[in-house]
């Protein structure tokens, strides 16, 4: 954090004690934990043990605004990705509707042969869900591979194009960090499957309502 580093000055503890006339006393103690994400729990425990006489803080409080901004960005990115998935679901609906219109005669022939509307409904539901499953599977595989190798891919593209996407003079980071979280991957995959399944309901229902006489009238 260059902006914060400019506001800090490191001196020997004895020199600082002499300036503030503290003698052998100190103004505070900093703890370094093996797991940085335990800081909120540890600081809460210390605050309860020490009482109101001491001020206990941690990096999540000191950087609250920064991490809140990151959280908002994650929410917005999730909403944008959800819109992308919704567009994909809409494409499945239109594909299924076009397929139903194209197969009206075939559906009507199946109906005249004794196939029930329920069976027609199941046929189109299975087809739509298979399309969704294949799409989700490809998306998960490609997403996990790219997400796990983001830094390497970015470096390779930079070398190939001779560009520097992340300039250290502008950004705090020198590379794009990535962390594949399987819980989020599973959650997104489940949402994708649910949207794909829901998007097939209307086309499948429409196919099951096909009337043989009307569909075969002009064929």
Per-residue HEC secondary structure of 108-170 comes to HHHHHCCCCHHHHHHHHHHHHHHHHHHHHHHHHHHHHHHHHCHHHHHHHHHHHHCCCCCCCCC
pTM of this structure: 0.60
The number of angstroms, rounded, from the C-alpha of 34 to the middle of its chain's C-alpha atoms is 27
**DSSP-derived 3-state class of residue 92:** helix
By the 10 Å C-beta count (0-12 exposed, 13-18 middle, 19+ buried), 193 is classed as: middle
Q: 34-55: b or e for each residue (b if 16 or more CB lie within 10 Å)?
A: eeeeebeeebeeeeeeeeeeee
Q: From CA 19, how far away is CA 169, in angstroms rounded?
A: 35
Say how many CA atoms lie within 13 Å of 130 toward its Cβ: 7
Residue extents of the structural domains in the chain: 2-62, 68-215
The number of angstroms, rounded, from the C-alpha of 76 to the middle of its chain's C-alpha atoms is 10
Show pLDDT as tens, one digit a residue, over the chain (219 residues): 666 677 888 889 888 888 888 888 888 888 899 988 898 899 999 888 888 888 898 888 887 888 888 889 889 988 888 788 778 778 878 887 887 778 778 888 888 888 888 888 888 888 888 888 888 899 899 988 988 888 788 778 877 877 776 666 666 666 677 788 888 889 888 888 888 888 888 888 888 887 777 767 666
By the 10 Å C-beta count (0-12 exposed, 13-18 middle, 19+ buried), 114 is classed as: exposed
* Contact between residue 115 and residue 191 where contact means Cβ atoms under 8 Å apart: no
For residue 38, the 8-state DSSP code is: G
Q: What integer pLDDT is reported at residue 141 of this predicted model?
A: 93
By the 10 Å C-beta count (0-12 exposed, 13-18 middle, 19+ buried), 136 is classed as: buried
């Amino acid at each position: 954090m260059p902006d914060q580093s400019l506001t800090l000055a490191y001196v020997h503890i004895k020199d600082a004690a002499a300036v503030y006339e503290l003698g052998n006393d100190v103004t505070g103690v900093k703890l370094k934990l093996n797991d940085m994400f335990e800081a909120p729990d540890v600081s809460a425990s210390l605050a309860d043990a020490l009482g109101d006489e001491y001020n206990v803080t941690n990096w999540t409080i000191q950087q609250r605004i920064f991490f809140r901004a990151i959280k908002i960005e994650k929410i917005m990115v999730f909403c944008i990705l959800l819109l992308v998935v919704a567009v994909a679901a809409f494409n499945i609906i239109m594909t299924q509707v076009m397929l139903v219109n194209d197969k009206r005669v075939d559906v009507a022939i199946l109906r005249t042969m004794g196939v029930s509307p329920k069976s027609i409904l199941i046929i189109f539901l299975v087809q739509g869900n298979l399309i969704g499953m294949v799409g989700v599977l490809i998306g998960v595989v490609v997403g996990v591979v790219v997400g796990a190798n983001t830094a390497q891919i970015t470096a390779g593209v930079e070398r190939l194009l001779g560009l520097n996407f992340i300039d250290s003079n502008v950004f705090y980071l020198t590379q794009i960090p990535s962390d594949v979280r399987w819980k989020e991957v599973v959650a997104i995959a489940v949402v994708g499957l649910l949207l794909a399944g829901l998007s097939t309901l209307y086309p499948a229902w429409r196919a099951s309502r096909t009337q043989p006489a009307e569909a075969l009238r002009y064929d």
